[in-house]
Each structure stands twice: as C-alpha cells, then as structure tokens.
Amino acid sequence: MSESPKKLHIKTYGCQMNVYDSERMAEAMGAKGYELTDDPAEADMVLLNTCHIREKAAEKVYSDLGRLRPFKEARPDLKIGVAGCVAQAEGAEIMRRMPLVDLVVGSQNYHRLPEMVAAAEQGARPVDTEFPLEDKFDHLPERPLAARPTAFLTVQEGCDKFCAFCVVPYTRGAEVSRPAARILAEAQKLVDKGVREITLLGQNVNGYHGAGEGGDWGLARLVRALARIDGLERIRYTTSHPNDMDDALIAAHGEEPKLMPYLHLPVQSGSDRVLKAMNRKHTAEDYLRLVERIRAARPDIMLSSDFIAGFPGESDEDHRATLDLIAAVGYGAAFSFKYSPRPGTPAAGRAGVAPEVADARLQELQALITAQQRAAQEGMVGREVGVLFEKPGRLEGQWVGKSDYLQAVHVRGAGLAPGVLAQVRITESGPNSLGGELVAG
Ligand code: 5AD
Ligand code: SF4
C-alpha cells in the first residue's frame, strides 16, 4: 500500500519577499514529498511565514496560532511551524508562549526546514534563527514552478539604513546581495518555464551590489543584463530607498524598454524635521529633485510610496508638509500606516503622538492618496498600454492582466491566455481596476 503524500499549508503574511520565501519553502518541502493544500484542516503541517513590520502584523500571528489549537487537539501529530520575521525576532520566545508550536525557523535558515521538520517528527522542538555564512538559496532545490507569467526573484536581503522606526535591519540583518551570475541563471530558468515578467526583490533592492563579471555590479547593470534574456519582457524591482537611486539606474529607466514605468519609492514623510528624526538621511527637497530627475528620464513613470502617520514628535505642521509633498509629487498609488513602535528600534522609546491624532492624520493621508489614485486610474482612459495577461476574469470570456503601470486590467478578446502580452486601449476605470479592449494588429 502506498502512503498518500503529506499535506502542507502555508500562510504568508507581509511583503513580497515572504511570498517568494514561501514558494521556495514549498519547493523544499515538495522535494520531501509534501503537497500544498489551501485547507489547514487537512494539513499534516501548517507553516506561518510571518511579518514583524508593525505590531498588528506580529500579533496576528499569535491569534492565528490560537486558532490552530483545535486542529492540533484533534490531530496531535499535526506539526506547526513559524517562519519569517516574527520567528527571526522572537525565536524561542514563541515556543514559550505557544506550546503548540513544533518548530521556529528564521528567515535565513529555510534550507534547513526539511531536517527541522524531520526532527520535529521525532518530538524535538527545533529553533534556528542564526545568520549562517552560507546562502540559503544555494541549498534550496531548483524551482519547479507551475507555468505562470510573473515571478518574484530575490536579489538582495537585509538593510543597513536603520530608519528609526524599522525592524528590518534587525530581523533581516545586514545587506547581502546575491551574485549576478546566480540571479541571471535563476531568471533564465524562470523564463524557460514560461515566466515573462520578473520582479526583483530586496529590502533595499536599489542598494544591490553583487559580485558580477568584471567586479561589483549595481542594480542598473543587473537590470540591463536581465533585459538581454530573450522571452523576458518585463522587469520591475522593489523596494527602493531614495538615497540609492543612482544615475545609472535613473538612466536605465529612460533607456531600457523592458524596465517597467512604475516605481515604488517610499519617502515616509514630507517634513524635514521628521525625516531627520526617522534617520532617513534625505530632505523632502532632495526627494522632490530626485523625482524630477526620474521623470526627466522616463516622463510617464508612475510613482508610489509609503507614508507613516503619527511618528513620535510629528506636529500638525509636519503632517501638513507630508500632505504638501504628496500633492507636489502626484502618486499613482501609495500606502500609509499609523506609526507602530517596534521593540528594539530607536524610535520605540520616544513619546508618541496621541492615538486619535495619529488616526485623524492617517485618514487625511489616505483620503488624499485615494483621490490621487483615482485620478491616475481615470487618466488612463483613452490611452494604449501594454498588458500582460495572467488569469481568466470573473465574467465569461474575460481575462485579467497587469498594465505596464501595474494596474489590474480586464479585457474580453480572442486569443488571450496567461503570458500573452498585448496592447490594450483603456475604455473604463474603476477604483481598483481598469477595463479595455485589444488594439488590433
Ligand atoms: N510603524 C508604521 N509603519 C512602519 N513601516 C515600517 N516600520 C513601521 C512602523 N514601525 C512602514 C514603512 C515601510 C513599510 C513597509 O512599512 O512605511 O516603508
Ligand atoms: Fe526599514 Fe526600508 Fe528604512 Fe531599511 S530603508 S530601515 S527596510 S524602512
């Protein structure tokens, strides 16, 4: 009698880097005979790939673990693992707080997951949150991805910037860039499997400095080398720090057609006083000049950003400066968050602004951002834009893809399929997606 394959359920929180890591962990476990399932009730193992960036995200992990308790009581051999940034930050503390957890694996140790699961099956409760000298990606199996037209590819991890609010330099460690040859080889394999768009990932991706032919490569050089891969049609990268947007990268936006005209460039605040307290090491003016230079290279580029409302010491005037900056830039999309003190970060000990003040500011930011986002969507109507189709839409004969500017676009037309890249005339706009028709020819 052959044993049926074991089932693994992964829940991913937080950023795209975690999405990528979850895929790689699924592949590592796949090599050990585990199949993925969407249903935690039928899983032999549940893995939470966690996020520590704000308190809400971290606390959600504990409430989700609590929700797994009945599953574990019903099936004591169910294994529960915690991975990602909460695992990295809290390590053995998770084991103490949550006896139902069987293993804790930090974000640099995923290549050890299969052996940790084997140890957990023997009754151990392994914890590994070391920063190893080896590169986890060298020890993970090759990616047997299902045919999908888009993929993430991690090129850089960690952050040396130490913004005063941010846990990333502590959870993901110092900046490390993967060698260019490995990234190019991984990209080629993805393209061979049908991928047409690659998003390069890094906590500080434009700080990429990897070993390459002839010495140290920056992100611009990497992008240009990737652009030479036949069949790869689109390149994106995220997330960037303004101080690492060098001339070569700005020039690439003007010269490399495969580099898509959408850039996530977080500024966090429009007040110089707050930017200084955040240790951002740039002013609002620096950022605005940078945006001008990027737009000079690529006039149609769409920008997005992150903003924090209610950073310690933020006055009404500081908040207005942020609204002014948003008005001056004109974003295609943006994300705003209420400041959340994170243990171990420099800002955590500073006196915060009153929660109701932070809430009101957050709402004001969001109202302005939503209005800009809507205007950007409406501004697309009548334009022609490239769309890479990904999957069928909800309506008969309809397909959904992403525009060059990363907007969801619904189209009805013959010959559409995942991976088809076509020119589309935008005919209608909604808050979250656009509608259009194929341009003949
Ligand atoms: N509180 C609120 N927002 C935060 N971010 C990072 N740390 C915090 C924090 N402590 C936001 C920043 C960052 C985004 C990913 O999350 O805006 O760019
Ligand atoms: Fe965090 Fe980004 Fe600042 Fe690095 S650059 S510390 S990841 S907010």
Q: Does the CB atom of residue 165 touch ligand 1 within 6 A?
A: yes
Atom 5, ligand 2: residue with shortest CA distance: 161
Q: 95 — phi, psi (to 5°)?
A: -60, -40
Express each pLDDT in 269-312 by its tens digit: 999 999 999 999 999 999 999 999 999 999 999 999 999 999 99
**CA–CA gap between residue 357 and residue 319 (Å, rounded):** 11
Q: What is the DSSP secondary structure assignment for residue 5, as one 8-state letter? A: P
**CA–CA gap between residue 97 and residue 88 (Å, rounded):** 15
Domain 136-378, CATH = 3.80.30.20
CA 57 to ligand 1 centroid distance, Å: 11
Ligand nearest to the CA of 240: 2
Q: Provide the token pair at 436.
A: 């259009």
CA 176 to ligand 2 centroid distance, Å: 14
Q: Does the CB atom of residue 152 touch ligand 1 within 6 A?
A: no
Q: Residue ranges for the binding site? A: 15, 51, 85, 159, 163, 166
| Residue 125 exposure: Cα atoms within 13 Å on the Cβ side | 13
| pLDDT at 144 (0 to 100) | 57
| pLDDT at 427 (0 to 100) | 98
> Closest ligand 1 atom, CA of 166?
7
Ligand nearest to the CA of 345: 1
Atom 3, ligand 2: residue with shortest CA distance: 163
**CA–CA gap between residue 208 and residue 228 (Å, rounded):** 19
Strand partners, 438: 424
Domain spans of the chain?
Answer: 6-128, 136-378, 384-438
Atom 16, ligand 1: residue with shortest CA distance: 53
Class of domain 384-438: mainly beta
Residues 6+ apart with CB under 8 A from 313: 273, 274, 277, 350, 351, 353
Give Cα separations from 6 to 46, 79, 202 (angstroms).
11, 11, 32
Task: Please state which architecture CATH assigns to domain 6-128.
Answer: 3-Layer(aba) Sandwich (3.40)
Q: What is the DSSP secondary structure assignment for residue 351, as one 8-state letter? A: P
Residues 6+ apart with CB under 8 A from 393: 399, 400, 410
Strand partners, 436: 411, 426
CB 159 within 8 A of CB 192: no
Q: What is the DSSP secondary structure assignment for residue 154, as one 8-state letter? A: E
| pLDDT at 98 (0 to 100) | 94
Find the farthest-apart pair of alpha carbons in the chain and give their distance in angstroms, rounded. Answer: 72
Q: Residue ranges for the binding site for [4Fe-4S] cluster? A: 15, 51, 85, 159, 163, 166
Q: What is the DSSP secondary structure assignment for residue 414, as one 8-state letter? A: T
386 Cα distance to chain centroid: 23
**CA–CA gap between residue 39 and residue 272 (Å, rounded):** 48
Sign of CA dihedral 144, 147, 149, 150: negative
Is the pLDDT confidence value at 146 over 80? no
CA 304 to ligand 2 centroid distance, Å: 16
**CA–CA gap between residue 273 and residue 235 (Å, rounded):** 35
For tokens 């390459």, name the residue. 212
Residue 414 confidence class, pLDDT cut points 50, 70, 90: confident
Q: Where are the beta strands (DSSP E) in 254-328?
A: 262-264, 302-309
| Residue 292 exposure: Cα atoms within 13 Å on the Cβ side | 8
State the CB neighbour count (10 A cutoff) for residue 269: 24
Is the pLDDT confidence value at 398 over 80? yes
| pLDDT at 1 (0 to 100) | 43
The fraction of the chain above a pLDDT of 90, given in percent, is 87
Ligand 2 binding pocket mutation candidate from 161, 170, 244 (most atoms within 8 A of CB) = 161
**CA–CA gap between residue 343 and residue 352 (Å, rounded):** 14
Q: What is the mean pLDDT of residues 251-272?
A: 98
Question: What integer best gives the mean pLDDT of the chain?
Answer: 94
| pLDDT at 372 (0 to 100) | 97
Express each pLDDT in 152-174 by its tens digit: 999 999 999 999 999 999 999 99
Q: Provide the token pair at 271.
A: 């007040």
77 Cα distance to chain centroid: 33
CA 51 to ligand 2 centroid distance, Å: 14
CA 130 to ligand 2 centroid distance, Å: 21
Tell me which H or E stretch contains 89: helix 84-90
| pLDDT at 115 (0 to 100) | 93
Is the pLDDT confidence value at 355 over 80? yes
